[in-house]
């Protein structure tokens, strides 16, 4: 019997994954990663209640459960990166870093220590053999509304043959909850977590002010031509595409176009100025090959909820590419990820610079 280490957050997706893996004939071991400690917080995947929920599920299903202390690694790879991005006037995506460094890379190392051949999570994604590429590839989930491959492009490609996504064939969350109910799991009606796990109540600025250890400097809000329209209260309070809360008056609606760290300025402009046809990306990870040697036509996403857009990717240096879109994209944001697809296969991605 093949042994698999399943990441369990205490939610319904990972809990049902345990049921499906057992039904498929695997020996399942559940593990909850302790990522972030906040004694005042009782919700989210990092809380003590989440660990207890996961343990109860494992007890119910008759499988072992471990708690893995990943707090040091989580701070290094996720929280510190999150804070550093804001220091550099970028908007980070901590889930991408967590998946890359913690939920797959570090988790697989823990699996090896427990003599597990595979790792598994409750993500909505697929892994399967591709005749075209002659290897196991990462593909979109059948549930396109729930598909999470945008957040998974950074995982090490050599791990793909060792990853199982039990929910890959499901297209409706109600099916998942029904399985949980049928198996008597108390988490069947537990709501999905919609917030960043280490930021209580989505209070980003409070977390950043505490982490940065300094008070953000006020500066000018300017147009692209340099006209000063007002004052901002610190770059961490703004993001590209933002319209509300700027505190300025103008003859037409204005949006944040750029955060200029060197000049400590918030650059604003019209909605039309928000659109661009190209970007540059670095910190690349390709799942189908080691590096980009020529121009490739792809579908690209510049944020998790964005529609895919036709584009071509062009190598312009070591670990750096240019992305040219057929149609201009709205609010391209530094620090976010751009992810590339060939039909439903994930080619890879990188960080927008």
What CATH number has the domain bearing residue 332?
2.40.30.10
CB 176 within 8 A of CB 189: no
Other CB atoms within a 10 A radius of the CB of residue 58 amount to 22
283 shares a domain with 239? no
Summarize pLDDT for 238-286 with one digit per residue, the tens: 999 999 999 999 999 999 999 999 999 999 999 999 999 999 999 999 9
Pick the catalytic residue: 58, 95, 98, 116? 98
Annotated catalytic residue 98? yes
Q: What is the pLDDT of residue 45?
A: 54
- The total number of residues shown for the chain amounts to 353
Query: Which of 185, 146, 162, 190 is closest to 18 using CA atoms?
Result: 185
CB 165 within 8 A of CB 159: no
Q: How many domains does the chain have?
A: 3
Q: Quick one: average pLDDT of 105-122? A: 97
Taking the C-alpha atoms of residue 21 and residue 11, their distance in angstroms, rounded to an integer, is: 16
H/E element holding 57? helix 48-61
Start-to-end CA distance of the chain, whole Å, equals 46
Summarize pLDDT for 153-199 with one digit per residue, the tens: 999 999 999 999 999 989 888 999 999 999 999 999 888 877 788 88
Q: What is the pLDDT of residue 39?
A: 43
Taking the C-alpha atoms of residue 69 and residue 34, their distance in angstroms, rounded to an integer, is: 5
Q: What is the pLDDT of residue 231?
A: 97
118 shares a domain with 51? yes
Pick the catalytic residue: 70, 85, 95, 197? 197
Taking the C-alpha atoms of residue 291 and residue 285, their distance in angstroms, rounded to an integer, is: 8
Provide the percentage of residues in the chain whose pLDDT is more than 70: 97
18 shares a domain with 151? yes
pLDDT classification of 136: cutoffs 50, 70, 90: very high
Assess if residue 190 is contained within a domain: yes
Of 269, 297, 315, the domain-final residue? 269
DSSP state of 201: G
226 shares a domain with 141? no
228 shares a domain with 329? no
């Amino acid at each position: 019997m093949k042994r698999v280490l399943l990441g369990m957050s205490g939610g319904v997706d990972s809990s049902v994954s345990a049921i499906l893996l057992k039904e498929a004939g695997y020996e399942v071991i559940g593990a909850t990663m302790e990522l972030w400690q906040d004694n005042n917080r009782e919700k989210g995947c990092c809380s003590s209640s989440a660990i207890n929920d996961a343990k109860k599920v494992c007890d119910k299903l008759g499988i072992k459960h471990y708690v893995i202390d990943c707090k040091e690694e989580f701070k290094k790879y996720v929280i510190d990166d999150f804070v550093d991005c804001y220091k550099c006037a970028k908007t980070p995506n901590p889930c991408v870093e967590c998946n890359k460094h913690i939920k797959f890379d570090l988790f697989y190392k823990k699996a090896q220590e427990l003599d597990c051949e595979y790792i598994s999570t409750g993500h909505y994604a697929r892994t399967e053999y591709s005749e075209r590429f002659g290897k196991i590839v990462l593909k979109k989930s059948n549930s396109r509304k729930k598909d999470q491959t945008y957040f998974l492009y950074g995982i090490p490609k050599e791990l793909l043959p060792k990853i199982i996504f039990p929910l890959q064939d499901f297209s409706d969350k109600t099916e998942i909850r029904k399985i949980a109910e049928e198996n008597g799991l108390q988490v069947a009606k537990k709501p999905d977590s919609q917030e960043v796990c280490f930021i209580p109540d989505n209070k980003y600025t409070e977390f950043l002010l505490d982490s940065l250890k300094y008070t953000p400097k006020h500066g000018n809000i300017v147009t692209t031509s340099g006209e000063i329209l007002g004052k901002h209260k610190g770059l961490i309070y703004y993001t590209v595409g933002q319209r509300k809360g700027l505190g300025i008056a103008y003859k037409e609606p204005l949006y944040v176009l750029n955060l200029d760290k060197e000049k400590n300025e918030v650059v604003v402009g019209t909605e039309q100025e928000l659109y661009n046809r190209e970007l540059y990306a670095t910190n690349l990870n390709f799942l189908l090959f080691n590096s980009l040697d020529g121009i490739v036509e792809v579908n690209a996403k510049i944020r998790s909820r964005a529609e895919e857009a036709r584009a071509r990717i062009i190598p312009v240096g070591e670990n750096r590419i240019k992305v040219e879109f057929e149609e201009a994209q709205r609010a391209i944001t530094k620090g976010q990820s751009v992810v590339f697809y060939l039909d439903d296969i994930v080619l890879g991605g990188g960080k927008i610079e």
